[in-house]
C-alpha cells in the first residue's frame, strides 16, 4: 500500500471500476456510497469502508464520481464538510456544469482545500480496466499530485488549463459532439433503410473508410442493429449532457442549434419509455420520424 489514503465517493458503474483500479495499483482506498452493496464489493477487494463523508474527507486526497450537479452540490459542496476536512485535495471526476465547477472551486478555496476537475472518457468496462482518458484542469501542482491516481485509473491524462471549469468545458463539448454523431448516424441509417440499403452495411463501410474509430464503429453498430441494451451510458445522462452544453453556450452567447434538436430528440425518446436504455436509443426517434418500425 502507499503511505497515503485516497477517499472515494460515488461507486456507481464508473466509480466502482475506478476505485478498483486504485486498489490494484496499491493505493489505500476509503470508500463511501449512498447504497451499501458497492461498498461491500470494494471492501472485498481490500478497500476500507467509510461510515460518513466526514471520514472520507479525512483522507489525504478525495476522489469523487457522482452522477450530476445535484448530487455534487448536495453531498460535497457542504460548508460544514469542507470546513472540517483534513484533506487538502479533492479531485472531482464527474461531468458537471461549468457553473458548478466555478462554485466548487471558490468554495473549496475558501476552506483551504485544493480542487481539480478530471472528468473522463470511457464506459464502465474501460473504467474497470484502468484505461480511461482523463480530462484534467486545475493548479499544475495539484494536477502533479493527482497524477499517480490518474495513472492508475487511465491510460492518458489530457490537461486543459489551470481552472477546473476548463476540464468540464472540454468534457461537455466532447459529449455534445458524441450526441451529434449518434444523431447523424441515426438519420443516415434511416435514409439508407428507407431506400433499401441495410444500415449495418452502411455503418461497416463508413467506419472502415471515412470515419474509422470506436465512435462510428461502436455506436454505429448499436444504431444500425437497434441494439440499445444493456446501457453503457443511460439516455437520461445523455439528455443531461446536452443540457449542460446548451447552458454553457447560453452563458457565453454561443448558439448551438444542433443542441436544441438533440434535446427534443432525447425528450421524445424518454417520452416513449426509453429511459433505461443506452443513449444510442435516441436513434429510435429518427426512425419514428422516418416512418420506420422501432
Residues annotated as catalytic (active site), given as ranges: 171
Helices (H), the chain: 13-24, 36-44, 53-56, 69-75, 79-83, 98-110, 124-128, 140-153, 164-194, 199-208, 214, 220-225, 235-251, 257-271, 283-289
User: What's the chain's Rg over C-alpha atoms?
Assistant: 20
User: Strands 120-121 and 132-136, how do they pair?
Assistant: antiparallel
Q: What is the largest CA-CA distance in the chain?
A: 65
Spatial strand order in the sheet of 61-64 = 48-49, 28-32, 5-9, 61-64, 89-92, 114-117
Task: Give the whole-angstrom CA distance, residue 169 versus residue 99.
Answer: 10
- Quickly tell me which residue has 435514409 as its cell: 191
Grid coordinates belonging to 18: 475506478
Task: Give the whole-angstrom CA distance, residue 171 versus residue 178.
Answer: 11
Task: Give the whole-angstrom CA distance, residue 239 versus residue 157.
Answer: 26
- Quickly tell me which residue has 477546473 as its cell: 164
Task: Give the whole-angstrom CA distance, residue 254 versus residue 248.
Answer: 8
Amino acid at each position: 500500500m502507499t503511505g497515503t489514503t485516497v477517499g472515494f465517493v460515488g461507486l456507481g458503474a464508473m466509480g466502482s471500476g475506478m476505485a478498483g483500479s486504485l486498489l490494484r495499483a496499491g493505493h489505500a482506498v476509503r470508500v463511501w456510497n449512498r447504497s451499501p452493496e458497492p461498498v461491500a464489493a470494494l471492501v472485498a477487494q481490500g478497500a476500507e469502508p467509510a461510515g460518513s463523508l466526514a471520514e472520507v474527507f479525512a483522507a489525504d486526497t478525495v476522489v469523487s464520481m457522482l452522477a450530476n450537479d445535484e448530487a455534487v452540490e448536495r453531498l460535497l459542496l457542504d460548508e460544514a464538510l469542507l470546513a472540517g476536512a483534513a484533506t487538502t485535495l479533492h479531485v472531482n471526476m464527474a461531468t458537471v456544469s461549468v457553473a458548478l465547477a466555478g462554485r466548487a472551486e471558490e468554495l473549496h478555496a475558501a476552506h483551504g482545500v485544493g480542487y481539480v476537475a478530471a472528468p473522463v472518457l470511457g464506459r464502465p468496462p474501460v473504467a474497470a480496466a484502468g484505461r480511461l482518458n482523463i480530462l484534467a484542469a486545475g493548479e499544475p501542482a495539484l494536477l502533479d499530485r493527482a497524477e499517480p491516481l490518474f495513472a492508475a485509473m487511465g491510460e492518458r491524462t489530457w490537461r486543459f488549463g489551470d481552472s477546473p471549469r476548463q476540464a468540464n468545458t472540454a468534457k461537455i463539448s466532447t459529449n455534445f459532439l458524441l450526441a451529434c454523431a449518434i444523431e447523424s448516424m441515426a438519420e443516415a441509417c434511416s435514409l439508407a433503410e428507407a431506400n433499401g440499403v441495410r444500415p449495418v452495411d452502411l455503418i461497416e463501410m463508413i467506419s472502415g473508410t471515412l470515419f474509422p474509430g470506436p465512435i462510428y464503429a461502436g455506436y454505429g453498430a448499436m444504431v444500425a442493429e437497434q441494439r440499445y441494451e444493456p446501457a453503457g451510458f443511460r439516455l437520461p445522462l445523455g439528455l443531461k449532457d446536452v443540457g449542460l452544453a446548451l447552458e454553457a453556450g447560453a452563458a457565453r452567447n454561443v448558439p448551438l442549434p444542433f443542441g436544441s434538436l438533440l434535446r427534443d430528440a432525447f425528450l421524445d425518446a424518454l417520452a416513449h419509455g426509453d429511459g433505461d436504455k443506452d443513449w444510442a436509443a435516441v436513434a429510435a426517434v429518427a426512425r419514428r420520424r422516418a416512418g420506420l418500425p422501432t
